[in-house]
Amino acid sequence: MNAARKLISSHLVSGEMKAGAEIAISIDQTLTQDATGTMAYLEFEAMGIPKVRTKLSVSYVDHNTLQTGFENADDHRFLRTMAAKYGIYFSKPGNGICHQVHLERFTKPGQTLLGSDSHTPNAGALGMLAIGAGGLNVALAMAGEPFYMVMPRVARVTLKKKCRKGIAAKDIILEVLRLMTVKGGVGKIIEYAGEGLKNLTVPERATITNMGAELGATSSLFPSDEQTKAFLKAQKRGKDWIELKPDPGAEYDEEIVIDLSRLEPLAAAPSSPDNVKRVRDIEGTPVGQVCIGSCVNSSYADLMLAARILRGHKVHPEVSLSISPGSRQALRMITENGALTDIVSAGARVLECSCGPCIGMGQSPATDTVSLRTFNRNFPGRSGTANDQVFLCSPLTAAVSAITGKITDPRDVIKGSLSFTLPERFVIDDSMILPPSPRPSKVIIERGPNIKPFPVKGALEEFLRAKVVLKMGDNITTDDIMPAGAKILPLRSNIPAISEYVFSKVDPAFPSRAKASGGGVLLGGMNYGQGSSREHAALAPMYLGIKVVFAKSFARIHKDNLINFGILPLTISPEVYDSIDQDAEIELPSLAKEVRESSEIRFVEVKTGRTHRSEHGLTDRQREIILAGGLLNYVRSKKV
Ligand code: MIC
Ligand code: SF4
């Protein structure tokens, strides 16, 4: 068995481990972050369970940390009291980004983790089966329910030899993205193997597993080996180590081989993480902003690399450089060893330990300027600036370019070796991680006026007549559907208010059109709903009356979120996609009956009278969820 199958088999609750079949696995740990967490905890609360039933659940505050009104602070207080009451650890705002802190303090090889954030597979760096999901799925896992998913195929990425000077882990995952594209990982776990592993430290591995989310992969995984042991020991968690490796001769569904010694510095050009170019081919492009941080590249190791490069230099006069450390541990360590002085002396703007610019919480770039970021996503407008030009690269490329003012190949600047070894002991201070209350019955949940109950849909319609309210192209992201940023994110606990921003970057009139036509259906291309796990991208359209999404194909997490909130995802052929226009009226004459009895759903275009076919591809369980009008209704009917 390969390592991924070992982890699945040791947690298998039901189903057959055959690629494509539905399986259920038990979940040991959960994590939530504030932007998805408030909904997840409202959903958990609605289940009426007194205490989480996982081995460990942690609630982080890292996204909505910019407090420009009462909303975010209210949410933080709600999350703190919920955690105290229900047996959950609470990581306070300022303690760091969920994935970085979880890696440092909680990730355990051999266990499973379900997180309400798409980059949860970051923890795969430590030999954990870590999966991103919608908040409702995480709420159910906290209630002790297994997690249902399609049994993934396992792809092996074999890393040969060793990276040369100036090449970083980010270049490895950008190479995988170049080879596989943003759709290439759908339905797969990416398992890393090969001699190249022995030189890759856990933080470097985390850069790679983190950005597996951009491949659309279910998860990414490294074996648990000597590097893992060393990292855990340095975090004073040596006893959490167990070995996890594939059996000799283990089988994989597909394989990619990468010769690390031939890698070049790479960057993802605007506006997709798979639009990968050699830095050599874009060097000289003037840069207005450089941002170092985000969960993919904000570890102590990343900050040290940036600090080594910046030491004794000044940031270019026309560049704004910002650094957001991934955790308070990383920040404290660079403070104590003086690296922060190098960063500050160079002229960097030091931000708090949070997601920050990665989710448009400040630092939006100036009009028509290039922003070079060490982040994982450069979807259009995600930075907060319309028509932005965001390039994604390694901390090495970012730091050298901040000095030169233009995209620069780090190999031309870095003299001598930058390598340093990870410390034998990280600074350990968990005082910003609050344990659950010893007297939960005494804890009162504090809810501000921004926290509104979540909407619930009724059972699936037997007959539907609806308008195609929006037709879209391929690779529509959940950032397109439900944008984030400093203005909209504070409304994550208030579905009626946030629904006014659905598709606001693509078509600002969408919410009013949807409401005027009494809801309707959506039409998307390939890989519809890639990116973030935000269930708001399903909940808010559901609130506006969207009943069905037709698309050529769907991204995994978003498809699950649509089903969870009773919106039917239907797959159509490219020909059918081409023949239907926006504003077309359609009828689904026997909707619920066909969902119940068949895998094919017919629909009629009212104007032409033409009948088309679509497939729902739902498992029996998903079929029942859709018929019930969503997962909460289904769970209630089953009295889980
Ligand atoms: C993101 O990177 O897009 C986010 C913000 O972390 C999301 C979660 C969210 O939308 O709250 C994710 O990756 O799932
Ligand atoms: Fe936060 Fe960005 Fe990571 Fe999402 S990708 S968790 S917004 S740092």
Residues 242 and 133 in one domain: yes
Which residue has the CA at smallest separation from atom 9 of ligand 1?
534
Residue 392 CA to ligand 1 centre (angstroms):
17
Residue 389 CA to ligand 2 centre (angstroms):
18
Question: Is it the case that residue 638 has pLDDT exceeding 90?
Answer: no
User: Are 567 and 547 in contact, with CB atoms under 8 Å apart?
Assistant: yes
What percent of the chain has pLDDT above 70? 99
Query: What pLDDT score was predicted for residue 618?
Result: 97
Q: Can you tell me whether residue 157 is helix, strand or coil? A: strand
Backbone angles phi, psi at 365, to 5 degrees: -75, 160
Which residue has the CA at smallest separation from atom 3 of ligand 1?
532
Residue 634 CA to ligand 1 centre (angstroms):
26
User: Are 570 and 600 in contact, with CB atoms under 8 Å apart?
Assistant: no
Residue 37 CA to ligand 2 centre (angstroms):
14
Residues 488 and 341 in one domain: no
Q: Specify the CATH number for the domain of residue 623.
A: 3.20.19.10
Give the model confidence (pLDDT) of 17-50 as tens digits.
999 999 999 999 999 999 999 999 999 999 999 9
From residue 439, how far is each of 42, 64, 86, 143, 469 by CA, in Å? 21, 28, 10, 20, 50
Q: How confident is the model at residue 419 (pLDDT cuts 50, 70, 90)?
A: low
Residue 586 CA to ligand 1 centre (angstroms):
33
Residue 572 CA to ligand 1 centre (angstroms):
28
In a domain, 436, yes or no: no
Query: What pLDDT score was predicted for residue 426?
Result: 98
Residues 202 and 273 in one domain: no
Which residues does a 6 A CB cutoff place in the pocket of ligand 1? 35-36, 63, 117-119, 359, 484, 531-534
Closest by CA position to 276, among listed 187, 219, 193, 214 = 214
What integer is the mean pLDDT of 525-551?
98
Q: Specify the CATH number for the domain of residue 238.
A: 3.30.499.10
Domain stop point among 210, 230, 262: 262
DSSP 48: T
Q: How confident is the model at residue 287 (pLDDT cuts 50, 70, 90)?
A: very high
In a domain, 579, yes or no: yes
Give the model confidence (pLDDT) of 215-253 as tens digits.
999 999 999 999 999 999 999 999 999 999 999 999 999
Q: Can you tell me whether residue 21 is helix, strand or coil? A: coil
In a domain, 446, yes or no: no
- What value does the mean pLDDT of the chain take? 97
In a domain, 457, yes or no: no
Residue 595 CA to ligand 1 centre (angstroms):
31
Backbone angles phi, psi at 91, to 5 degrees: -95, 115
CB atoms within 10 A of CB 621: 15
Domain count, the chain: 3
What percent of the chain has pLDDT above 90? 97
The one-letter amino acid at 557? I
Which residue has the CA at smallest separation from atom 2 of ligand 2?
358
Look at 417 and 477; give whichever has higher pLDDT.
477
Q: How confident is the model at residue 84 (pLDDT cuts 50, 70, 90)?
A: very high
Give the pTM.
0.98
Query: What pLDDT score was predicted for residue 232?
Result: 98
Question: Is it the case that residue 567 has pLDDT exceeding 60?
Answer: yes
Q: E strands within 472-575?
A: 520-524, 546-551, 568-571
Question: Is it the case that residue 442 has pLDDT exceeding 60?
Answer: yes
Atom of ligand 2 nearest to the CA of 532: 4
Query: What pLDDT score was predicted for residue 639?
Result: 65
Domain stop point among 246, 262, 278: 262
Which residues does a 6 A CB cutoff place in the pocket of ligand 2? 63, 97, 117, 119, 294-295, 355, 358-359, 376
Tokens of residue 125, six digits: 């760096």
Domain housing 39: 3-262
In a domain, 426, yes or no: no
Residues 167 and 254 in one domain: yes
Q: How confident is the model at residue 636 (pLDDT cuts 50, 70, 90)?
A: confident
Atom of ligand 2 nearest to the CA of 359: 7
Question: Is it the case that residue 640 has pLDDT exceeding 60?
Answer: no
Q: How confident is the model at residue 454 (pLDDT cuts 50, 70, 90)?
A: confident
Report the distance separating Cα 31 and Cα 272, nearest Å. Answer: 27
Would you mind telling me the total number of residues written for the chain in this entry?
Answer: 640
Residues 230 and 274 in one domain: no
Q: How confident is the model at residue 314 (pLDDT cuts 50, 70, 90)?
A: very high
Residues 229 and 101 in one domain: yes
Which residue has the CA at smallest separation from atom 2 of ligand 1?
532
Cis previous bond, 9, omega within 30: no
Note the ligand closest to the C-alpha atom of 296: 2
Question: Is it the case that residue 556 has pLDDT exceeding 60?
Answer: yes
Note the ligand closest to the C-alpha atom of 206: 2
Residues 247 and 308 in one domain: no
CB atoms within 10 A of CB 435: 12
DSSP 629: T
Give the model confidence (pLDDT) of 399-409 as tens digits.
999 999 999 99
What integer is the mean pLDDT of 461-466?
98
Tokens of residue 418, six digits: 């930058």
What integer is the mean pLDDT of 291-297?
98
Domain stop point among 235, 262, 289: 262
Report the distance separating Cα 555 and Cα 565, nearest Å. Answer: 16
What integer is the mean pLDDT of 243-266?
98
Residues 503 and 612 in one domain: yes
Give the model confidence (pLDDT) of 323-344 as tens digits.
999 999 999 999 999 999 999 9
Query: What pLDDT score was predicted for residue 31?
Result: 98
Note the ligand closest to the C-alpha atom of 356: 2
In a domain, 440, yes or no: no
Note the ligand closest to the C-alpha atom of 534: 1
Which residue has the CA at smallest separation from atom 10 of ligand 1?
534
In a domain, 147, yes or no: yes
Atom of ligand 1 nearest to the CA of 382: 3
Residues 529 and 605 in one domain: yes
In a domain, 336, yes or no: yes
Question: Is it the case that residue 126 has pLDDT exceeding 60?
Answer: yes
Q: How confident is the model at residue 421 (pLDDT cuts 50, 70, 90)?
A: confident
Query: What pLDDT score was predicted for residue 285?
Result: 98
Q: How confident is the model at residue 617 (pLDDT cuts 50, 70, 90)?
A: very high
Residues 286 and 249 in one domain: no
Residues 294 and 182 in one domain: no
The crossing angle, in degrees rounded to 10, of helices 300-310 and 328-336 is 40
Atom of ligand 2 nearest to the CA of 298: 8
Which residue has the CA at smallest separation from atom 7 of ligand 1?
532
Torsion of CA 158, 159, 160, 164, to 10 degrees: 170
Give the model confidence (pLDDT) of 341-359 as tens digits.
999 999 999 999 999 999 9
Residues 258 and 271 in one domain: no
Look at 639 and 529; give whichever has higher pLDDT.
529
